Every structure is written in structure tokens, then in C-alpha cells.
Chains A and B, each alone.
Chain A
Amino acid sequence: MVECDDGDILDAIAQNDPDALVMLYDRYGRIAFGLAYRILGDAATAEEVVQDAFMSIWRRADSFDASKGNSRSWLLSIVHHRAIDQLRGRFGRRRGEVDFDALEPILAGPDLWSEVAGGLRAEAVRTALRTLPEEQRRAIDLAYFEGYTQQEIAERTGTPLGTVKSRMRLGLRKLHDTLVASGSYRIDGDSDGR
């Protein structure tokens, strides 16, 4: 598997090929660990979370339809979900188990897994985030990277709850529109698998 795309890798994982899992790790392990570390701030715990996420994919690869989504987003959503659970003390499950029932509404969203997200590049995202007003970016950060609810964010920042809701929506709206305007989302026809 020299020039394989993510779909090939997931197919091989579904065929119980450990080397394919390692190949997926070589491709996305650094961003997965970067995300877990960003949320948790602890390397050992971040490694546990990332290993759990890869093992979840190892066990669930056969259920993933690569034609409808991209595996990077899938992996990173699992890492995010797991890391926030760990951070916020919602770690009731045994290690190695991801609550796919809780993830199901997210996993089922074809928009989230749309191939257009596969073309996103880190620098484009960072640039787009920099265009957001500070208070919108802060609200999004507190929710996404620290796992706070809207109420907790309101209390933490001394901001009315309604304002927090608006900041999250307007911030995400602007982020989306900026990425679209910059051509960062891949549109139909460009499908190199990453």
C-alpha cells in the first residue's frame, strides 16, 4: 500500500491488518495527539486518548463508509469527544471503549463527514479563526477545547447567556463563511482522500 488513500487504509483495517492501522497513525497521529494534548495538557493522558481513538477505529472500520466522509474528521471527532470526556470527568466507561451511542448523532451527520472537510488545511483554519472577533473565538474555544457548557461559559466570562449563544453561532457562521470564501473546502470532483 504505497499510494493508497484513506478508504484503502480503512478497508485494510476492516480486514484486521495492524499495519494499516499504523499507516493511518502515520498519517494522522500527530494531529490527533496535538488535539488531545491541546485539550488535556498532559502527554500521558493524551496518548491514552489517542490510542483509544485509534482502537475504536480498529474495531469499527467496517462500519465507516469512506465514500461519504473522511477518516481524518472521524478520527479527530472521536479524539475530541474522548478527551473532553476525560477533561470534564465524564469518564465513566472503561478505557478503550468509546460511547458510540453518544457519538451517533454526530457520526450520523453526513454534513460533518462530507468530503469537503477533507480538503481543509491547518493554516487556512488558523487564518480564518484570526478573523473572528476575540469574544467569539473565546466562546468557541471554551466550548470546544475546554468542554464548557454555554451556562458555564456565561458564568466564567461574566457574560449574559444569550450573548454567549450568539457569539458561538456567529463565530461558527463566520468561520464557515471565511473558509468557503477562501476556497478551503474541497468541492465535488477533488477527492484525493486527504
Chain B
Amino acid sequence: MAAEREHTYYRELLGAYALDALPDDERLVLEAHLATCGACVAELADLRLAVTALPLSVEEREPSPSFRDRLRAAAVADLAASSQPKPIEPKPLPDNVVPFPASSAPSVPRRQGARVWLPWAAAAVFLLFGLTMFGWNLSLRQANNEQVIALQPAPGVIGAGGELIYLKDKQVMILKPRGLPALAPGQVYEVWLIQGITPVPSGVFSSADGQVAVAANLGQYQALAITIEDGPLGNATPKGEKVVVTPL
């Protein structure tokens, strides 16, 4: 009789177990019982099958239109990251590349005073001119399919950098920013591709040293920028501080 009562007790836990609603202590003792009770194992199999049905009761919904492309881009970026034999801090660098110094520069607080907001195109042109003056090369080509572009800090931002790897056959840009100014709670980094003078929102991310993929044809854009915007979605037009502006 004691064994029957014990079995009844454990059997009563099976629903909560199948729904992952048991606390750890009860879960562990039930699992010990399952190792010795075929009847409970059989019932659990039925209950789990019922749990498998539950997600099908929800209404299907369509994610945002860009989601499909972003998913594909993420897979391509993952593939590229896992197959890249060398991270893009090659030593020695090819002759046509000057190391980008920002990654080793100490990070300083962001400028807090009033900022002058240049038009996007002007900022890109300014940077291109400035970088040329300093003799910095902005890009190199690896193999035949891959273009690497150094990310440049926006005016007044020190320490931001990293690189953009463009996979031409996939039309995917992989951004590997480094040293971006820290985010305040609730903020995100937002990527913009600048077409003429129009910034096109192209994704958000929150890790300052993370990796983000953007599905886009690089040839259609004149510059890339990263700003700090309100999360989690960012903004439709740039409102926050520019931290990266890079001619393409």
C-alpha cells in the first residue's frame, strides 16, 4: 500500500513536470522515481506529447519584412566567422593598408557638450578628405570576394573603430565594431546605410564589441554610420549621437 501511495504521489507530479513547472527538488525526486517506474514513464510520454501540441494553438504571425533577410545574413555572418582563418588584424598588413590606431587608443568619455551635427553626406566627405590627408587607406581586398573596410570614428569620438567585411557574392556586410562608447541603459547602437543624403536604418545591436550582419549591396550606399539610439528598436531616423561614420 505504501508503494501504491508513493506511486500516486509521483504520478500527480507528472503534469507539472511535463510543463517544466516543478521546483528543482521535486523534479529531482520525480526523476529518481521515473528511473524505476515504467507506468509513470509511459504516462509522461503521453503528457509530453500533449505539451508538444500546445504551441500549435497560437495564431501564426508574420515577423517584420526584413526579418527573413536578417536571418539569412546572420547565417552567412556565422559561416564567415567560423570559416575565417584569420581575424582581421593581420600582421603584417598589406602595403596598401595603414593600421587603424583607434583600437589601441584609450577610450575617453564621450563629448558631452553641444554637438555640431553635420549633414550625413558632408560628414562622410569630411572624413574621406581627412583620412586621405592622414594617408589612411580605408579598405583592402581579401581574396576576390571579400572587401574589408576600416570603421572610422565619428568626429569627436575617440576610440571607436573596427571593421566592415563585405561578402560580395552574398551581398552581406559583417560589422565588427570595436571600442564603441558605452551605452546607457535602454540604448542600442543603430546601423545606418547612407544613400545620397538619406540614412537608411539597417539594424540595431547592443554589444560594443559584438558582430552584426547587414544584408545590403554595398555599391548602393555612399557611407555607413552607427549612432546611439533609444532601444530596443532604435529610431526610424537618426536622433542620437554618431559614433561611427565611414565612407563606402
Contacts and interface: CB of A to CB of B under 8 A. Distances in A.
A58 to B, nearest CB: 5
B57 A54 contact: no
Interface in A30-76: 30-31, 33-35, 37-38, 43-47, 50-51, 54-55, 58-59, 73, 76
Interface range on chain B (Cβ under 8 Å from partner): 35 or more
A91 to B, nearest CB: 13
B64 A18 contact: no
B50 A172 contact: yes
A22 B75 CA distance: 9
A12 B233 CA distance: 32
Given A22-B68, A25-B71, A50-B63, A150 B22 contact: yes
B53 A120 contact: yes
Contacts of A185: 49
Contacts of B63: 29-30, 33, 43, 46-47, 50
Given A125-B57, A126-B57, A18 B22 contact: no
Main secondary structure of the interface of B (DSSP, over half): helix
A158 interface: no
A77 B64 CA distance: 22
Interface stretch (B10-18, B88-96, B135-143): B10-18
A45 B49 contact: no
Contact of A22 (B12, B22, B64, B71): B71
Interface in A147-194: 148-151, 153, 162, 164-173, 175-176, 179, 184-185
A70 B46 CA distance: 17
A146 B100 CA distance: 48
Interface string B62-92: 1110011011101110110000000000000
A87 interface: no
A128 B58 contact: no
A46 B48 CA distance: 24
B61 A33 contact: yes
B62 A19 contact: no
